[in-house]
Amino acid sequence: MERKILDTLFTRVMFVLAFLISLITVVIALILVLKSLPLFQISSISELLFTSIWQPAEGKFGFYPFIMGTIWVTLLSMAIAIPLALLSSIYLAEYAPRHIRNAIKPLIDLLAGIPSILFGLWGILVIVPLVRNDIAPLYGISTTGYCVLSGGIVLSFMVLPIIISLSDELFRTVPLSTRSASFAMGATKWQTVKYVLIRKIYPGLLAAIILGFSRAFGETMAVLMVVGNVAKVPSSVFDPAYPLPALIANNYGEMLSIPLYDSALMFAALILFCIVVLFNISAKMLLMRFQIEGVRHE
Amino acid sequence: MNAPYFDIRNFSMEIEGLKILSEINVKIPENQITVIIGPSGCGKSTLLNSMNRVIDLTDGIHITGEILLKNKNIFDPTVDVTELRRKVGMISQTPNPLPMSIFDNVAYGLKIHGIKDRSRVSSSVKQCLNTVGLWNEVRDRLDAPASTLSLGQQQRLCIARALAVEPEALLCDETTSALDPISAHHIESELLSLKNKYTIVFVTHILRQAKRLADYVVFIYLGEVVEAGPAVTFFTSPKDPRTKAYLEGVFG
Amino acid sequence: MNKKDFEEQFFKVLMCVSVLIVLGGILSIVFTVFIRGISAISLPMLLETPHGGYYLGQGGGILNAIVGSLLLAGGAIIISFLLSLPVAMYLHLSTKRSRHTEYIRTSLDIASGIPTIVYGAVVFTIMMVIGARSSLFWGMITVALFILPIMIRSIDEIMIHVPKKIIIAAFTLGSTRTEMLLVVLRQSLPGILTALLLAFGRGIGDAASILFTTGYTDSLPTSIFEPVATLPLAILFQINSPYLVVQQRAYAAGLILLVIVLLVSLLSRFLSQKFMKYVVK
């Protein structure tokens, strides 16, 4: 009988914990919204999102430069990362001999595990000087190197492993017979990849890209250290920018000294939260048909 | 004929809207080997899985009718399922050792049913391993992982494991199909020697095996009981034309 | 060469170039951190805390950050694990598909993707409301919080791969659901260990979550309710110092962090092999 009691007790405890923890996202959303509310009493949402004047002491919070900063850096990083990641994953999945693949995959995992602060360190020591001394002069531009380009390059390397691993898994979901059928008709490997494989998995590839995007959007440290942190809408990749996560990270100290500053920073966090959650949900929906997760082995 | 151990009455089952079993009516005699025969895919395993309610683990099942064990419907909500499964053991088609040592595999059942006394557990394990003829083969490596045994040995381990909890019945689902002929033969002999103590229900699609083992036969085709009876009369003078056809190898 | 062969060769070249760029990047990162860090590493660096006037170029090392980080990540992983295991087990109570376990999995996946700075900001808000100061305790809570959904889903994925026949075996012997879960756990042990180690690596490296909630200090941790130094923040606060001596500490901290992450990765592969003994394939 006591087995029954223990069983019931444990299953109840598990249920309660599971229920509470599944609410994390909701609770976070609630707190962010509640803390942002005071801001809405002095400005409308469109004012907040689309104006550029950032004078917290005077109660003016125009988020536009920060939003644009985030978009510039994120888009640039994706522009760099997507082709690199796709080409690399096609190589790893379809072309690489076994020993090369086995050598490279752990390195990709290593990249995934490197903390963002170390990416920032690398950014300051390698990328910023590279941009300042080598890349910008090519275009006749002089810059400190702390700009969108540096942020984009650093961020792209952070996002690469996510896209590569997911794409690799996706390629492996396609059975061997599909490829054999294509080769049997005289197609080259590349033609097989282009016309057969990618067509089969492109929703998943899209999901991988969306997840990469989402990660890039929310990444704080690495970007903060190299992007310049100037609150102006960038007009070129050689201009500095001030992405939303950097805004939050840099100013938490003043949060309490200026009225409504804490609401503003929470609103920035809320914007981040909404975009990231939206992307993650879309990616998950796209991935559902591949059943990469949650498949029970019989 | 002995009193029935299982009394199956008007038992029907749908799984996800598909009718798997229709109006099964059969009495499984106690302390004999009952063989359920029939072509693959006709519901034999489903019926077996219902007798210890392992079928509960499947999605989307819908049941009508009853299976009575000693006059109580095993699907009654007040039934203690863990006790039912202790009393009615099961050995699957492919051996499924637990991720533990050989000793712990056999001891597992004892442990969960509350028998903690070390010496009692040890002697039980030894006895069960002996019964299935494994003791001498494994006595020196009781701590080795069960997965290091050969398939035939693993299957005998599964029988030993089932016997450890002192069941009343054993359900065998094509238990020898995955094994080599020698191991299969060993297991058949073991079952024959156990039948006086346990009610054994054995599912197979191999007619010769059925003839070797059966005291009582149930022929299931397309989810229905076509014919059932003592082995002696079943094989020599089947009544239903479908049974005749099956026994002659026309299908299946 | 006809068109399709040309296309094949062209993309082959592009792919090789891409892989080389990716590998080049990885090597560059590891190399840079290593080279800069190794010149800054010395016994005093590792074993001393900062002396007075730390930021102005006086002596001392990063022991405070090393100890602080280990404690923070260690504590966070323990808290997270104690909560993750029951939730992951809950997802496997039933063998049937269920709408509400899918809901829990989805909400955990979403929570896994929320940037750590948001977690930090939210916990900071709570701290403000209840009047708490930043400390090791709150750092542990924040890291435990953002690791939680990730850890639950990792353990969940490992349990999903337990062959169903083992679960049936447990049930046919008369196990209760909790007893069956313990068997599933046995089978999942090596994978769970890996998940723990990887979570440790993730937790120790994150700066955004602890920026607001943990504070910083020059001394070794004395109490769980005091601020502590951490390796990521040691890097952040010192890398831009005009004093080379101070910068060196940032590089040293960077190398230590990298070494910890590498060690964790290697350890996880090694340990999971060791624990494979009883696992059924």
For chain A, 298 residues long, the average pLDDT of each consecutive 10-residue run is 86 93 94 92 85 83 92 95 95 92 91 93 95 89 91 95 92 88 88 87 90 90 93 92 94 81 92 94 84 42
> Phi and psi of B144, rounded to 5°?
-70, 150
Single-letter amino acid code for the residue at C138: W
The more confident residue out of C59 and B228 is B228
Is residue A3 within 8 A of residue C75, CB to CB? The reply is: no
Residue B123: pLDDT band with limits 50, 70, 90: very high
Residue B64 maps to a domain: yes
Say if the Cβ atoms of A95 and C15 lie within 8 Å.
yes
Is residue A111 within 8 A of residue A155, CB to CB? The reply is: no
Is residue B62 within 8 A of residue B18, CB to CB? The reply is: no
Q: Mind telling me how many Å the CA of A18 is from chain B's nearest CA? A: 22
pLDDT, residue C52, reads: 59
pLDDT, residue C100, reads: 87
Based on its alpha-carbon atoms, the radius of gyration of chain B, rounded to whole angstroms, reads: 18
Residue B182 maps to a domain: yes
Per-residue pLDDT tens over the stretch A15-35: 999 999 999 999 999 999 999
Mean pLDDT of C219-226: 90
Q: Does B57 touch chain C (CB under 8 A)?
A: yes
H-type alpha helices, B25-101: 44-51, 81-87
pLDDT, residue A249, reads: 93
Is residue C280 within 8 A of residue C163, CB to CB? The reply is: yes
Question: Strand locations in B57-204, DSSP E?
Answer: 61-69, 72-73, 88-91, 169-173, 199-204
Tokens (6 digits) for C81? 């694990």
Q: What SS3 string covers A213-270?
A: HHHHHHCCHHHHHHCECCCCCCCCCCCCECCHHHHHHHHHHHCCCCCCHHHHHHHHHH
pLDDT, residue A291, reads: 63
Residue B149 maps to a domain: no
Say if the Cβ atoms of C128 and A107 lie within 8 Å.
no
**CA–CA gap between residue C136 and residue C205 (Å, rounded):** 15
B71 pLDDT above the threshold of 80 = yes
pLDDT, residue C53, reads: 55
Residue B155 maps to a domain: no
Residue C244: pLDDT band with limits 50, 70, 90: confident
Give, in degrees to the nearest 5, the angle at Cα A179 between A176 and A180: 85
Phi and psi based region of residue B133 (left: phi greater than 0; alpha: psi -120 to 50; beta: remaining): left
Which residues neighbour C9 within 8 Å (Cβ) at sequence distance 6 or greater?
Answer: C1
Tokens (6 digits) for A29? 């959303």
C149 pLDDT above the threshold of 60 = yes
Give, in degrees to the nearest 5, the angle at Cα A59 between A55 and A61: 60
Describe chain B by its helix, strand, coil percentages, rounded to 5: 40, 30, 35
For helices C244-274 and A98-113, angle between their N-to-C axes, nearest 10 degrees = 130
pLDDT, residue C57, reads: 59
Helix (H, G, I), strand (E, B) or coil at C60: coil
Mean pLDDT of C13-41: 94
**CA–CA gap between residue C177 and residue A7 (Å, rounded):** 7
pLDDT, residue A189, reads: 87
C153 pLDDT above the threshold of 90 = yes
Per-residue pLDDT tens over the stretch A155-196: 999 999 999 999 998 998 888 888 898 888 888 888 888 888
Domain containing B30 — which CATH number?
Answer: 3.40.50.300
pLDDT, residue B149, reads: 93
pLDDT, residue A297, reads: 34
Is residue A36 within 8 A of residue A267, CB to CB? The reply is: yes
Number of separate domains in chain B:
1
Q: How high is the mean pLDDT of chain B?
A: 92
Q: Mind telling me how many Å the CA of A23 is from chain B's nearest CA? A: 27
Residue B66 maps to a domain: yes
Q: Which residue has the tokens 């909701």?
A: A26
Give, in degrees to the nearest 5, the angle at Cα C265 between C191 and C91: 30
Per-residue pLDDT tens over the stretch B197-226: 999 999 998 899 999 999 999 999 999 999
CB pairs under 8 A between B and C: 81
Is residue A34 within 8 A of residue C121, CB to CB? The reply is: no
> Phi and psi of A256, rounded to 5°?
-95, -15
DSSP 8-state symbol, A13:
H
All residues of chain B having their beta carbon less than 8 Å from the beta carbon of residue C186 are: 98-100
Mean pLDDT of B162-186: 92
In 3D space, the residue among C211, C260, C249 whose CA is nearest the CA of residue C74 turns out to be C260
Residue B156 maps to a domain: no
Give, in degrees to the nearest 5, the angle at Cα B136 between B131 and B140: 130
Mean pLDDT of B54-63: 92
Helix (H, G, I), strand (E, B) or coil at B62: strand
Mean pLDDT of B220-244: 91
Tokens (6 digits) for A174? 């396609």
Residue B69 maps to a domain: yes
To test the contact with chain B by mutation, choose from C172, C178, C186, C275 the residue with the greatest count of B C-beta atoms within 10 A, namely C172
Say if the Cβ atoms of A115 and C90 lie within 8 Å.
no
Is residue B51 within 8 A of residue B171, CB to CB? The reply is: yes
Helix (H, G, I), strand (E, B) or coil at B143: coil
Q: Does B145 touch chain C (CB under 8 A)?
A: yes
Which residues neighbour A1 within 8 Å (Cβ) at sequence distance 6 or greater?
Answer: none
Say if the Cβ atoms of B59 and C97 lie within 8 Å.
yes
In 3D space, the residue among A51, A228, A199 whose CA is nearest the CA of residue C240 turns out to be A228
Residue B211 maps to a domain: yes
> Phi and psi of C243, rounded to 5°?
-90, 125
Residue C58: pLDDT band with limits 50, 70, 90: low
Residue span of the structural domain in which B213 resides: 6-96+168-247
Helix (H, G, I), strand (E, B) or coil at B25: strand
All residues of chain B having their beta carbon less than 8 Å from the beta carbon of residue A4 are: 80
Mean pLDDT of B94-111: 94
